[in-house]
A and B are shown apart, each in its own frame.
Chain A
Amino acid sequence: MRRRRLALLGAVAALAAAIAGAALATRSSSPPRLTVFAAASLTDVLPRIDARERYSFGGSNALAAQVQQGLPADVFASANVTLPDQLYAAGLVDKPVLFTANALVLITRKGNPSRLHGVYGLDRPGLKIVMGAAGVPVGDYTRRVLARLGLSDLVARSASQETDVREVLGKIVLGEADAGFVYATDARAVKGEVAVFAIPPNAQPKVNYAAAAVNGGPNEAAAEAWVKRLQGRAAQKKLRAAGFLRTGR
């Protein structure tokens, strides 16, 4: 009985110590480590630009929702401009900064087992197409492309609506789906695993990335500097090396 009570006491003490330790740890180190919420398509390149920060990658819209719900992000980097603009309008982030661009491509598994020739074969019956869900940047770009190609009914016929671009990529690489729309940089990240088809220039959407420092955090100044650095030469060189494009086009 006595021993059990002692053990319990010990456990409580250890828990308290752990909490205190964690609280101290977040205070000490300087300069601060930033928490960066970034679009899934930036998964490979951002740690190459700056390996020191803490990253949370996901669908830009899910990350924006997390910022809205008050999760402690220092920087929000989105695969579109709309979401950071909305957060800016709501007073949650600083003025967004365009820092890079991308292009949408159609991919299929390596060796092209479904014998696709490009976007115009996509309405063939039985073809399993995956895309981002509505609201997810890659999903919205995909819908825009399909609308311009007169293939909008493919949205309703898709096999899965994914929450970020890397989920789309995974479904193609694993062979669960036949074709999907991802960014050119994602296709490049799994080079050799997928066959890539360009989208006709007249249907290609403008894929711009914007980042913004989140307001009200303890690292706001550092976050603003970090966002500015994304436009700097070193960061731009890494982005270009990963296949990202100049903004605006």
Chain B
Amino acid sequence: MRRTLAGALVFAATAVALAFLLFPIVAIFARVPPGRLVAQLSNPVVADALVVSLKTSAIAQALVLALGTPAAFVLATRRFPGRPLVVTLTELPLVLPPAVAGIGLIAAFGRFGLLGGTLSTLGIRLGLTQAAVVLAVAFVSSPLYLRQAIATFETVDPDVVAAARTLGAGPARTFFRVVLPLARGGLAAGAALSFARGLGEFGATIMFAGSLQGVTQTLPLAIYTEFAVDFDVTLAMSALLVVVSAALLVALKVTLQWQPSRPTSRFLFATSS
């Protein structure tokens, strides 16, 4: 008797949780017919926001990959005092409220921020520019990549690396021909996660980069601004972001499936590439 009651409650909780998570997303598509949603996408506000979002996210992602990959490799393979602290600090922006990230960026790179004076003598003013969007996106999205990349590099068998070195490959060649191919799946997963997070960035961007159509107004900012103007357009942009995010999530799952899960498959993976 008690068992069945508990079972029913657990089932009910599961149903409520799933419905709660899915209902708002379904509602976005249910309120406006798909034809009109698609038609709204040709609205110049939407088109501009899409371009700004893709451009800033792509640049931020390139920076995150270029700087984050070596950083993650070092953090994954070197043991030094205070390493757990450093790793934890890199994860901090992940749990930080976006508004705090925005204040932090202004306090650091703003005109009267810590680096503001240095930057302005170089003739650089970051605030309210597209570069500020890139910084905001990179700041909030890079921890996701770093985290995943560190975890991935940690799973690369040191013996394989050692073998490559004894066989005469230099450190660079070993990294690019052995470590990177082995870590490929995990790194791609991290990149997908951080790209998705960057695409959704809102708080830090609106505070540090402002909102200007075609320059700093990303899709989330355009949704926020257009909400007061035209609800259909906000629905269309929201639907677009749901589709893009869902695609990224599926890509993420697929890449993680491809990742070698058993130690025995690692050699196959390395030699084949």
Where the two chains meet, the residues of A that have a C-beta atom closer than 8 Å to any C-beta of B are: 5, 8-9, 11-12, 59, 61-62, 64-65, 68-69, 128, 130, 133-136, 158-163, 167, 170-171, 174-177
B229 in complex: contacting residue of A61, A130, A175, CB < 8 Å: A61
Chain B residues whose CB sits within 8 angstroms of the CB of A62 once the complex forms? 227-228
B10: interface (CB < 8 Å): yes
Inter-subunit contact A8/B10 (CB<8 Å): yes
A160 in contact with B228 given A5-B10, A175-B111 (CB within 8 Å): no
| Segment of B74-82, B164-172, B211-219, B261-269 engaged in the interface with chain A | B211-219
Chain B residues whose CB sits within 8 angstroms of the CB of A171 once the complex forms? 127-128, 210
Please tell me the size bucket of the interface on B: 20 to 34
Inter-subunit contact B106/A136 (CB<8 Å): no
Rounded to whole angstroms, the CA-CA distance of A65 and B111 in the bound complex is: 34
Interface string of B108-151 (1 = CB under 8 A from A): 00111000100000000101100000000000000000000000
Rounded to whole angstroms, the CA-CA distance of A62 and B234 in the bound complex is: 12
Chain A residues whose CB sits within 8 angstroms of the CB of B224 once the complex forms? 163
A175 in contact with B110 given A8-B10, A159-B128, A163-B211 (CB within 8 Å): yes
Chain B residues whose CB sits within 8 angstroms of the CB of A11 once the complex forms? 13
Chain B residues whose CB sits within 8 angstroms of the CB of A65 once the complex forms? 227-229, 231
A177 in complex: contacting residue of B12, B128, B211, CB < 8 Å: B128
Interface string of B1-32 (1 = CB under 8 A from A): 00000100110110000000000000000000
- Besides A8-B10, A133-B225, 12 other A-B contacts (C-beta < 8 A): A12-B13, A61-B228, A62-B227, A65-B227, A65-B228, A65-B229, A160-B128, A161-B213, A171-B128, A174-B111, A175-B116, A176-B210
Rounded to whole angstroms, the CA-CA distance of A171 and B129 in the bound complex is: 13
Inter-subunit contact A160/B6 (CB<8 Å): no
Chain A residues whose CB sits within 8 angstroms of the CB of B207 once the complex forms? 170
Chain A residues whose CB sits within 8 angstroms of the CB of B206 once the complex forms? 167
Inter-subunit contact B225/A163 (CB<8 Å): yes
Rounded to whole angstroms, the CA-CA distance of A171 and B132 in the bound complex is: 14
